[in-house]
Amino acid sequence: MSPQPGRGRWIVLFVEVVLLAVIAGAFVWTAFLGNRPESVAVTPSSTPFTLVAPTVIPMTATDLETQIAAVYREAGPSVVNITSRSISYDFFFNPVPRQGSGSGFFYDTLGHIITNYHVIADADELQVTLADGRTLPAQIVGSDPSNDLAVIKVELPASEVRPLPIGDSTQVYVGQFVLALGNPFGLERTLTFGIVSALGRVIESPNQRFIGEVIQSDVAINPGNSGGPLLDLAGRVIGVNSAILSPSGANAGIGFAISARTVQRVVPVLIREGRYLHPSLGVRLIELTPQRAALFERAGMNLPTKQGLLIAELVEGGPAARAGLRGPQQVVRVGNWILPVGGDVIVAINGRSITTSQELLVYLETETQVGETVQVTFIRDGREQNLPVILAELR
């Protein structure tokens, strides 16, 4: 049988197409191998990958990680876990043991440890767990609920203690990187990282007063972190972690630390005296507002200012009374209100305007000491006057 016309021609054309495809494929593969980055290793993999140009890691990121790791390595041995135990009694006078935990850090080679007052408050027994796992008994040296600070002590050779350096919190700035070391939920030597969110915050102390100069950060702080250090990237203590603001009781990105400036002012006194003396004017005050000022004017007082602190009571023999400040002269009823009228209205201390009790307390705590003389500016009978007052211990 003779072949069909044109069949050979189609066979030849098919062979030519196949040869062209093989040649083109070889060309593409050769080009691929010739241009492949040398940094990409071809290894068997079960997942697809995309070839990209090599990425250079910024030196700043590497430096930051190195600094964080160095702080953890150097400061970690100085941070301790504090366990407090106490006994309370139920309705039937049965003893109920209680246990709490917090953090602390070595302040000096004598074994003094800084922590929060609320960590050791009402403790019948304190145990300190060191970074190497040893557990030692601790004794309370001094405490100050108004600043939520306390000092405890363990017996250790000086060679085994690594105190943390205290930094200068007045140089801290918003946006600065900071680290927290502590034992959240009992997880020892946990490191967290963040930034300073705000400065000069005022928070309530365990005894319902106010703590000023507080550092706010977004570092993750949880129950158990209390008393641990807030550190800068040089490993210096710039604050003592004290409280969080959270509706759930866990970290919500708002944490507060008592500033190193407060620590430097209070801790040496606690070690030396066992307690810290808080300055006071010896007065009970009423904060004036426009609405309250209107009430006192209806009661017959001449008030050229609508803001300030009206003296409602003088402590007998107290600093303000000795200096000559005046308390209320009479009590007047205005509607449903009984008002003490005739007292001086304090408007400034040492030239600094004071309009609330919180401002007064924070100023006295952070800027003055017991025995110091301050200039009190006040309004009496419509006239502004000044008197020197020697501060005494708050009672």
> Which letter does DSSP use for residue 342 in this model?
S
Count of all residues that appear for the chain in the document: 395
- The answer to whether residue 112 is catalytic is no
For residue 268, the cross-strand partners are none
Amino acid residing at 264:
Q
What distance in Å separates the CA atoms of residue 211 and residue 209, rounded to the nearest whole number?
7
For residue 105, the cross-strand partners are 79, 114
Give the closest residue to 138 by CA, choosing from 169, 174, 113: 113
**What is the CB neighbour count within 10 angstroms for residue 362?**
20
For residue 235, what are the contacts with CB-CB under 8 A and spacing of at least 6? 70, 71, 74, 75, 164, 165
Q: Which of 112, 118, 197, 259 is catalytic?
A: 118
- The answer to whether residue 118 is catalytic is yes
Q: Name the phi and psi angles at 31, rounded to 5.
A: -65, -40
- The answer to whether residue 148 is catalytic is yes
What distance in Å separates the CA atoms of residue 42 and residue 49, rounded to the nearest whole number?
10
Q: Which of 144, 148, 232, 344 is catalytic?
A: 148
Q: Which of 84, 226, 259, 280 is catalytic?
A: 226
Please list the active-site residues. Answer: 118, 148, 226
